[in-house]
Amino acid sequence: MAKRPIFIHSLEFPFVREEILEFEWFPGFSKAQAQKSIRSLHRSAHKKGIEPVLEISSKSPSSMGVELSAFNLMMTFENGHSLSVECAFQGSKVFELGGPYQEIYEGTSIEAKKDERLRTSGDVIGFQLLDETFPTEPKTAFYDWLYIKALSQNSVYAKMLLKYNGFSDIAFNPQKSINCQARAAALFVSLGNKGVLEAVLEDRVAYLSTINGPQKDEQEKKSSVEQGKLPFNFENEENRYVM
């Protein structure tokens, strides 16, 4: 048996509810084994009254779920340059000892994930994407923002997500990982239903204020994030990537 979360959208802060469910796990690395585990997890969700559930991962039995994987979901910038959410996330990390390694933007998602510098440059101290800077707190803020930004550019899938009440990612283990594409999808639906999606995508400070909640609103306004500053210097031209 194993336990995994189902992510459920909500109009109430923090806008995503996690339901940890126990289900039968089918070991093995093949797609067939993963899909057995997915079906088992979704049966457990059904028993809890959570349905329908969309698996978002490269192992998803749904073609839509596969295409919404962060490895496959693309985001496009004003000049037409496109890259996957995974490449955008990994290439925007700023570490104690280097980064952002923006040449990662030009590679594949698998290459981005396996780049050795991501493991040898110390702790992540922030994120830099073009002229936008993001803090490391809340921990999933930047990843979620990238994902909902990409989803907002895929109107067909964005509308189709509305029919799902829960989202899963069979590979996500909350004991080992922080960011999750299924959680980001649930947040996208929540912000859309709440009517604030466009506003938070246009304004980084509004986004961070929203996901931080009312308790931290005043603190957020005073933070260095609002000033667009982080404790490092990006004036080195070799660290600048122009799209």
The reply to whether 62 and 167 lie within a common domain is yes
Say whether pLDDT at 48 is over 80. Answer: yes
Q: Are residues 106 and 60 in the same domain?
A: no
**Confidence band for 242, pLDDT divided at 50, 70 and 90:** very low
When pLDDT is averaged across residues 66-85 and rounded to a whole number, the result is 93
Torsion sign across C-alpha atoms 16, 17, 18, 21: negative
Task: Say whether both 60 and 160 belong to one domain.
Answer: yes
Q: Order across the sheet with 124-129: list the strands.
A: 93-95, 124-129, 132-134
pLDDT over threshold 80, residue 149: yes
Name the domain count of the chain.
2
232 inside domain: no
pLDDT in tens, 110-145: 999 999 999 999 999 999 998 789 999 999 999 999
The reported pTM is 0.88
What is residue 215's predicted lDDT score, i.e. its pLDDT? Answer: 58
Cα dist from 59 to 20, 27, 39, 63, 163, whole Å: 20, 14, 11, 9, 21
Q: Which phi-psi region, left, alpha or beta, contains residue 104 (left: φ > 0; alpha: ψ -120 to 50)?
A: alpha
pLDDT digits (tens, 9 = 90+) for 190-232: 999 999 999 999 998 999 999 998 755 555 445 444 444 443 3
Range of the domain at 52: 2-68+155-191
